Amino acid sequence: MAVITMREALNQALSEEMERDENVILLGEEVAEYQGAYKVSSGLLQKFGSKRVLDTPISESGFAGLGVGAAMQGLRPVVEFMTWSFSMVAYDQIVNNAGAIRYMSGGQYSIPIVFRGSSGAGLQVGATHSHTPENWYANVPALTVITPAFPDDAKGLLKSAIRSNNPVCFIENEKLYGFKDEVPEGEILTTIGQARIRRPGDQVTLIANSASTHVALAAALQLEADGISAEVLDLRTIKPLDLPAILGSVAKTNRVVIVEENKPFAGWGAQVAYEIQHRSFDDLDAPIERVTGLDTPQPYARVLEQAVMPSADRVIEAVKKILA
């Protein structure tokens, strides 16, 4: 198996799907000549030409909506937001158009579009540039929301997202682009909507996604040294939620700490906690804990931002609290 970065895995997914289906196009700021602000689209212009790999003006609302229109007309656009923080400018197009046209038209249209790009906090870029917006999009009924944590999932899920006939928000995390791991050779198509146990354990389940999965794994490693066995469940897909996997793990460990980078109010973790207590109340031996980004706009100063971010220390503290 090849060991590649998340960035390369995403690049392979784009390249393979563009090769396979000429209706797949890629558009966004700096995706073509600059080779991508984060180099995810590196080489694609050279491979597929400017008809299919398009640099856009800084007009997120315009090009996101253009993508939706093109999808209504049978193309399969991949729209890159340089970061998801800039998708706010296009929110209406994603929510009201991508998110509602199939339904509003009584099912006449498929919207096979993927919105993707980097996201996340922790790199000291301040309040406007640090959003972790999976909650906002998961709140829209018809959107699929995918947040990969590892290169193999990034590749397999992006390929599935491009083939999906639903609008997909594929939310990458900037901190992970350089993360390297094994990715199987050849075609991989990962099923959308399935969580994955990244580390088995039996005393507590750490439910996480994207970069938070790595925070949870770091915490689990330290907990092991303290003789505590933590299972790490990477949701991979926020919507649809893999309830069987979540409830199955809870049945085994009876304790849950949710780790999420996004803000706490109505975060996906709140939904997961609701589902667990609603469906598996008797499996719980302790209240569910959440370790989230703190409920503040993102500060610039490192000391402040570190306090805001979920950390292994905060996860360990939460675990020890419910195991006490």
Partner 1 sequence: MASSGAKKVRSKEKPGKSPAVLPTLTPSERVDLLRKMVLIRRFEQKAAQAFMQAKIKGFCHLYIGQEAVAVGSISTLSPTDAVITAYRDHGHALARGMSSRECMAELFGKITGCSRGKGGSMHFFNKEKHFHGGHGIVGGQTPLAAGIAFAQKYKGTGEVTVCYLGDGAVNQGAFHESLNLAALWKLPVIYVIENNEYAMGTHQSRSSAGYPLVKRADGYDMAGITANGNDVDDVREKMWDAVQLARTESLPSLVEVKTYRYRGHSMSDPGNYRTKEEIAERKKESEPISFFKERLYKEKALTEKEYEEIERVAVAEAEDSIAFAESSPEPEVATVFEDIFAPEDQIAEFRPPIGS
Ligand X SMILES: Cc1ncc(C[n+]2csc(CCOP(=O)(O)OP(=O)(O)O)c2C)c(N)n1
The nearest distance, CB 175 to partner 1, in angstroms, is 13
The nearest distance, CB 82 to ligand X, in angstroms, is 5
Cα 188 → chain centroid: 18
The nearest distance, CB 31 to ligand X, in angstroms, is 11
Site string (95-134) toward partner 1, x via CB under 8 A = ----------------------------xxxxxxx-----
Answer for the pair 195, 236: CB distance below 8 angstroms, yes or no.
yes
Helix (H/G/I), strand (E/B), else coil: 207? strand
Q: By CB under 8 A, is residue 20 in contact with partner 1?
A: no
Report d(CA 204, CA 228) in Å as an integer: 8
In the annotation, is 129 catalytic? Answer: yes
| 82-94: b (≥16 Cβ within 10 Å) or e | bbbbbbbebbebb
When the beta carbons of 83 and 190 are compared against partner 1, the nearer one is: 83
187: which 2 tokens? 């075609």
Write out the residues near ligand X by the rule CB under 6 A. Answer: 29, 58, 60, 82, 86, 89
Residue whose structure tokens are 């966004």: 28
The nearest distance, CB 116 to ligand X, in angstroms, is 15
Strand ordering across the sheet containing 168-171: 53-55, 24-28, 76-83, 114-118, 168-171, 144-146, 237-239
Q: By CB under 8 A, is residue 66 in contact with partner 1?
A: no
In the annotation, is 317 catalytic? Answer: no
Answer for the pair 51, 22: CB distance below 8 angstroms, yes or no.
no
- Read off the amino acid at residue 165: N
Partner whose footprint covers residue 294, from partner 1, ligand X, none (CB < 5 to 8 Å by kind): partner 1
Q: Using CB under 8 A as the criterion, which residues of the chain lie in contact with partner 1 when the complex forms?
A: 29-30, 33-34, 37, 55, 57-62, 85-86, 88-89, 123-129, 264, 290-292, 294-297, 299-304, 307-308, 314, 317-318
